[in-house]
Amino acid sequence: MGSQAELEDPLYNLRLSITSSAPPVLTTSPDKLHVNDITTSLSNATHISFNIGSHHTVFPLTAPTRFAPNDEPVSLRSIYFAYLNKDAQTTEYIAAVQTLNEELPSGAGGSVQNLSFAARIELIAWLQGETDSSESIKVLDGAAASAAADTSARIAGGTLGGVPVVKEGGKAAQDQRLLMIYDGERKMGDCNSVLRGTKPVDFSSYRKIASTFLRSRPSIPTGPSNAHPSPLVSNLQKKPTTRVQPIILLSPSASSLLRMSNIKSFLDQGVFIPPNTADTTSSNLLQLNRIIPSISTTHPMRFILVDSTANFKPPYWARVVAVFTTGQTWQFKSYKYPNPSELFNHYPGVYVGWQGEEPPEQVQALGRGVLSVKVDKWTGTEKGRWRDREVVETIWAKIEEGMRRGGWGRDGPGMAGAIPGR
């Protein structure tokens, strides 16, 4: 289930409850969970109880967590609130934060922090188990190192490991001479216990220093002895795996046939529904899974779909794999490459129009970097729209081609800062 240090960590308990489908319970008491203390209101609750199998623990909602996007720990209440509102639009989320802060009594322990768009994406992905690490979440290294140091110290002191002493009157009476030999033995530890002594010492602070020197040493494969790196070198050089999610940018134009309200049904199910008739709650962030055969035929990749770059960080542009457009150049003003010719030289473009109509001149002027496809006009029903699937597969083939040229693998682009080509 996790190490002792992880089981005592509120952030890990929230992740464990989400991935285990065992929702936590809000309570107004730090004591053992009682039916009279349970509440559904985050403004009235003071504690949160996790009950995962045989593991039960309670944390105050004001407890700071390891999630610190700006080097300032975010409270457990703010983390849980962000997860509950993971599907809310930015404006809805901000309004909900303000409402909750107004409802919180002064004794409940302060206000809820308003997390940025990027921080919410990063946090939700980690909480749902989609990523194993995050730049904004501090790793529990100290606890693991301290436990290892304590184990080595116990070995050195003779309380753990070594040759067990055979007591008299056991399963079979032992020769007295053998007992004397056991009594005269000196308890030995390993190299770690000799270096650490009898007191637990945490050497985790030296790991980064050691890894810097080990990475800078040239590799000299002169013989069989260098064929396999030592476990120490491998462990120090090993970096946590963070699976990067590709991003698809949609046009925010009201004239676009594909918007946030109908893009998922189109790209995921292969059925076009006009955005003004789609029975879908509008959101500024969507996710969908898709098998990309050139990367993996068994494990789908998770794509993020957004129609705004207002909260983009510079590294996010390396994750963009497609840009949907209507040809209106105002869409590109906030992009990394505002010039359309330069933009579509780095990212595949997609324009979707009506069957029987020519693309606008402004789309044709964008050049070969933009794929132009057409869907049948809407007749008021989803029946008979078999050509939609063919159009969708054409779009995904364009996206996959760009990802392949960008060196994408299961964990992201093949090179640091790689950008999909058209």
Domains of the chain in sequence order: 4-127 (no CATH), 141-216+227-237 (no CATH), 247-405 (3.40.50.11990)
pLDDT for 292 equals: 92
Q: Dig out the tokens for 279 from the structure.
A: 């029975």
pLDDT for 415 equals: 45
**CA separation, residue 164 to residues 121, 148, 186, 191 (Å):** 53, 22, 12, 20
pLDDT for 145 equals: 47
Angle between helices 76-84 and 10-19 (to 10 degrees): 20
* pLDDT tens-place string over residues 346-398: 999 999 999 999 999 999 999 889 999 999 999 888 888 889 999 999 999 99
* pLDDT tens-place string over residues 256-299: 999 998 999 999 989 999 988 765 556 788 999 999 998 888 88
Tokens 């990475």 locate to: 215
Backbone CA torsion sign across 302, 308, 313, 314: positive
DSSP string computed for 77-145: HHHHHHHHTTTS-HHHHHHHHHHHHHHS-GGG-SPPP---HHHHHHHHHHHTTS-S--TTB---HHHHH
In the chain, which residues have pLDDT < 70? 1-2, 32-33, 106-110, 141-180, 182-204, 208, 212, 214-242, 278-282, 414-422
